[in-house]
Amino acid sequence: MHELGIVFSVIQQVEKAAKENDVKKVKKVTLEVGEVSTIVPSYFEDCWKWSIKKSEVMNECELEMIIIKAGTYCEDCGKTYSTTQYGKKCPYCGSEKTYLYTGKDVVIKSLEVV
């Protein structure tokens, strides 16, 4: 379950930002989570609930996850398409000269603080 490690990393970054900005309490964290980031949202939420109890700044912090759809770009025809629907092979031209351009990252989008 790698979600716990990612949760720890997010909490560490949020606590650092809170300290740098003299924030005493973080009420909400909004994350953008890529559809193919390998994170299982329900596992992540469970890890989150357990982990924030150990943080003075975040001990009642709400988590919002916005799932970002995965998109792939074809270098041969220049079109984009849904990665989860079609995979690596371009549905327009059949090329495998493609790359994932969105939907694999986890990004802290915003913090709501007191």
Q: Indicate if the pLDDT at residue 93 is higher than 80.
A: yes
> What is the C-alpha separation between 41 and 59, in angstroms, rounded?
20
Query: What domains appear along the chain, each with residue ranges and CATH number?
Result: 3-12+25-113 (3.30.2320.80)
Q: Indicate if the pLDDT at residue 87 is higher than 90.
A: yes
Q: What is the pTM of this model?
A: 0.87
Tens-place pLDDT, residues 37-85: 999 999 999 999 999 999 999 999 999 999 999 999 999 999 999 999 9
> Above pLDDT 90, what percent of the chain?
97
Position 1 scores a pLDDT of: 57
C-alpha triplet 68, 73, 78: angle, nearest 5°: 140
Average pLDDT over residues 21-40: 96
